[in-house]
Amino acid sequence: MNEPLQELIADNVSITSDPHAGPPVQSETIIEPINPDDVPKDAMHVESHGAGEVFDCTIIGAGPTGLYAAFYAGMREMSVKIVDSLGELGGQVNALYPEKHIFDVAGFPKIKGKELVEMCAEQGLQFGPTVCLGEKVEQLQKDGNGLFHLTTDKREHKSKTIIIAAGVGAFAPRKLALPELDELEGESVFYFVKSFEPFEGKNILIVGGGDSALDWSLNLEPLAKSITLTHRRDKWRAHEDSVNKLMASSVDVRTFHEVRSVETADGKLKSVTIYHNKTQDETVLPVDAIILSLGFIANIGPIKDWGLTLDSGGVCVDSTMATNIEGIYAAGDVARYNGKLNLIATGFAEAATAANFAKNFIDPHSRVFPGHSSEKSEP
């Protein structure tokens, strides 16, 4: 893997082209705007569309870049649909670091990932786009009339333009090979820490050796009854400061340990058997909740079959964010051009550029430059 792509995905995300890897979560379709009172802005007439209708713009990816693209496309009076493989808005920011601070977003000296996502969602959904979550995009084809047919694992979507804001691909957490854990997901088995409250007063087992595993261990330490952190080796994929704080904490750190089995009763987790992978010695731990911080699978497989020009695992674009296929644009971490910087800040600018040129593509009489938003009337 080349260096730019390695920096992009970090060491807790694996790139794959296996179409069966990383199955998406349960799907959900949202057709109502987040705040209907904010939709009918003066001189804006965005019509409501059903999920099966033809949209002006379909955005693949519901992270900050995709949400900002939805905002700008809505402000340009385009009907918008968002499709994402994850079961919630926020993309990689929500999946990887919701509780971590981000320091390089303009206007915020620092802001937690989840707070940035909340504000991006409020902004991006104000014009009432249709949102389809938990749908993995598989095929993208253009018919003889110039209409795009986007096929997911759930259904087909039709659109006049496409903005790919998929980051490094469809995200899914890496799981342990223990089928009995599947039925406990969301109850006592977790891949994301969205709130600290469910872990208060609990015996927690955290599995992993990266920044997220250590961060959750340290952040939950004051709240939990006990925390055990297991890692299959003694080399950490985390910042040195975090490692030092971990070793000085009350967390029970078990290196060279892995999960062997779990015990449940009445649909609830009771205990977990871990083992030392060098000696095979077993230990049974009373556990109320498991946090599996084993990284993510980013599936870029389908994109490579869409006829797009690719480079370093991303989609090549020009200065208008247009790809080699007319009507398809890309923005954010998935976009590739000379001098590209993979930052949330640059993703916002690319999203605005893509949305405005998409508007001009479907309506050549419209201006590319949208005017200044400060000139528009409040609702």
Determine the Cα–Cα distance for residues 206 and 193; give it in Å rounded to an integer.
11
Region of residue 113 (left: phi > 0; alpha: psi -120 to 50; beta: else): alpha
- Considering only 34-43, 120-129, 237-246, 314-323, which range has the smallest mean pLDDT? 34-43
pLDDT at 28 over 70: no
Q: Where are the domains of the chain?
A: 3-172+297-375, 175-294
Q: Quick check: do 3-172+297-375 and 175-294 share a fold?
A: yes
User: What average pLDDT does the segment 218-222 reach?
Assistant: 94
All residues at 6 or more sequence positions from 319 whose CB lies less than 8 Å from its CB, including other chains: 337, 353
- The residue type found at 287 is V
Length of the chain in residues, anyone? 379
Query: Percentage of residues in the chain with pLDDT exceeding 70?
Result: 83
Q: What is the pLDDT of residue 364?
A: 96
Backbone angles phi, psi at 331, to 5 degrees: -150, 155
The vertex-29 CA angle with 26 and 30, nearest 5°, equals 135
User: What average pLDDT does the segment 3-22 reach?
Assistant: 42
Q: What is the pLDDT of residue 299?
A: 66
b/e per residue, 75-91, with b = 16+ CB within 10 A? bbbbbbbbbbbbebbbb
- Residue 302, CA atoms < 13 Å, CB-side half-sphere: 24
- Considering only 42-51, 89-98, 272-281, 343-352, which range has the smallest mean pLDDT? 42-51
Q: What is the pLDDT of residues 66-81, one digit of tens each?
A: 999 999 999 999 999 9
pLDDT at 187 over 90: no
Q: What is the pLDDT of residue 218?
A: 94
Determine the Cα–Cα distance for residues 84 and 132; give it in Å rounded to an integer.
6
The total of other beta-carbon atoms located within 10 Å of residue 70's CB is: 33
The vertex-258 CA angle with 256 and 262, nearest 5°, equals 155
For residues 130 and 80, the answer to whether their CB atoms sit within 8 Å is yes
Give the distance, in angstroms, between the CA of residue 73 and the centroid of all CA atoms in the same chain.
20
- The residue type found at 290 is I
Using CA atoms, how far residue 86 sits from 352, 360, 376, in Å, is 23, 30, 34
Q: Helices 240-247 and 211-220 sit at what angle, rounded to 10 degrees? A: 40
Tokens of 260: 């062997």
By the 10 Å C-beta count (0-12 exposed, 13-18 middle, 19+ buried), 51 is classed as: middle
| Helix residue ranges per DSSP H, the chain | 3-9, 64-75, 91-96, 113-124, 211-220, 240-247, 344-362
Give the distance, in angstroms, between the CA of residue 25 and the centroid of all CA atoms in the same chain.
12
- Of the pLDDT bands very low, low, confident and very high (cuts 50, 70, 90), residue 171 is low
Residues 195, 27, 128, 138, CA torsion sign: positive
Nearest to 37 by CA among 125, 106, 114, 105: 125
| DSSP codes of every residue in 184-203 | GBTTTEES----SGGGTT-E
Q: Which CATH architecture has domain 175-294?
A: 3-Layer(bba) Sandwich (3.50)
Q: In terms of C-beta distances under 8 Å and separation of at least 24 residues, what long-range contacts does 339-344 make, across chains too? A: 342/4, 342/7, 342/8, 343/104, 344/64, 344/65, 344/93, 344/102, 344/104, 344/105, 344/116
CATH number of 3-172+297-375, picked from 3.50.50.60, 3.30.465.10, 3.30.450.20, 1.20.1250.20: 3.50.50.60
pLDDT at 289 over 80: yes
Query: Percentage of residues in the chain with pLDDT exceeding 90?
Result: 56
Give this prediction's pTM: 0.66
* CA dihedral of residues 331, 333, 336, 337 (deg, nearest 10): 80
